[in-house]
Structure 1
Amino acid sequence: MGRQKTPEDVALKYGVKTRVDEKTNARLRELLAKSRHRNMAELLRHILMERPIAIYSVDQSVGAVIEELSRLRKQIDKIGININQVVRDYNSTTSRTTRYNLAMDLTELQTEITNHLKQLEPHIQVLTRIWLRE
C-alpha cells in the first residue's frame, strides 16, 4: 500500500523560487545547521509560514565532563553489583568467620563508593556553573 494522499487544504502545490545574496545565504545555512530541518526547502517553508524555528546548540566544554561522569557511573554500577553479591552471600551463610570476611568486603566496597563520589563532586560543580549561567 502506498502513501496516503495529502489533504487538498494542506497540500503544497505551488513552487517558489528566489535568489539571495551571499550574506543571507550564509545566515540561512547557519540557521539550517543549528536547526533540525533536513534541508533548506523545509527550513524556508517554516520561515515563510511564520512557524517557530528551534535552534539547538551543543556546548563542547561539557563533552569531557560527561565522558568522565559516564566512566564513573559505570564504575559505581560495578561496585553496586559487587555489593549485591556480597550481601546475598552474607545472608545465605551462617558461618561467623565467613560473615566477618564478607562484612570486611562490604567496608572496602563502601570506601570505593565514597572515593568515586568524591571524584564526582568537581564534575557536578562544573556542570552546575555551565547550566546555571545567567
Structure 2
Amino acid sequence: MARRKAKDQDKILSHPIIIRLTEQQYKKVADLWLNSDCRSIGEVVRKIIANRPIKLLHKDISMNAPMEEMALIRKEIKRIGVNINQQTHSFHISQNPIERSFHSSKTAETYKAIEPKIERLMELISKLAEKWLQK
C-alpha cells in the first residue's frame, strides 16, 4: 500500500544539505539541541538558518526533592482512594446493618489517614508557589 502524499508539498523537507562542522561548532549545536525543545540537530540548524527562535529549556535541580515527595504523596492518596472505593462497594453490597456500620467506620478511618498527606501536600505546594511567584 502506497503512502499518501502530503497536502502541502511546499513544507516537505526534500532537499538534503550536508555540511561539515568543527568539533567546537558541533558541540555548540549539540548543546543547543540538548537544552532546547527541538527533536533533532537538523531542526536546530533549520531554525538557525530560518532565523527563528529556539526555546531553551531550563531544569531547576532544587525542585527535584519536592517533586519526588509530591509524586509519592500522590501515589499514597491514590491508593487510599482505591481503598475507599472498595470499602464503599462492600458497604453497598452488604445487607447486614452490623456489616454496613463496620464498612462505614473503616471508611472514616481511611479518610482520617488521608488528612496528614493532604496537609503535607498543601505545605509543599505553598512553598513551591512562593518560590515560583517571587520571579
Question: Any idea what the Cα deviations from partners look like across 1:67-102, whole Å, max 9, x if unmatched?
Answer: 111111111111111111111111222322212211
**CA RMSD, 1 decimal:** 3.2
Question: Any idea what the Cα deviations from partners look like across 1:87-118, whole Å, max 9, x if unmatched?
Answer: 11112223222122112101110101112101
Q: CA deviation at 1:19?
A: 7.3
Q: How many residues align?
A: 132
The answer for the alignment partner of 2:90 in structure 1 is: 89
Partner amino acid, structure 1, of 2:119:
K
Distance 1:9 1:95 in 2: 69
- Normalising by the residue count of structure 1, what TM-score does the alignment of the two structures yield? 0.73
The answer for the alignment partner of 2:76 in structure 1 is: 75
Unaligned runs of 5+ in 2: none
Partner amino acid, structure 2, of 1:78:
R
Partner amino acid, structure 2, of 1:38:
S
Q: CA deviation at 1:38?
A: 2.2
CA shift in 2, pair 1:15/1:85, >3 Å: closer
Distance 1:25 1:31 in 2: 10
Partner amino acid, structure 2, of 1:93:
S
The answer for the alignment partner of 1:48 in structure 2 is: 49
The answer for the alignment partner of 1:32 in structure 2 is: 33
The percent identity for this pair of structures is 23
Distance 2:49 2:58 in 1: 23
SS in 2 for 1:61: helix
**Structure with greater contact order relative to length (CA < 8 Å, sep ≥ 6):** 1
Unaligned runs of 5+ in 1: none
CA shift in 2, pair 1:37/1:11, >3 Å: closer
- Normalising by the residue count of structure 2, what TM-score does the alignment of the two structures yield? 0.73
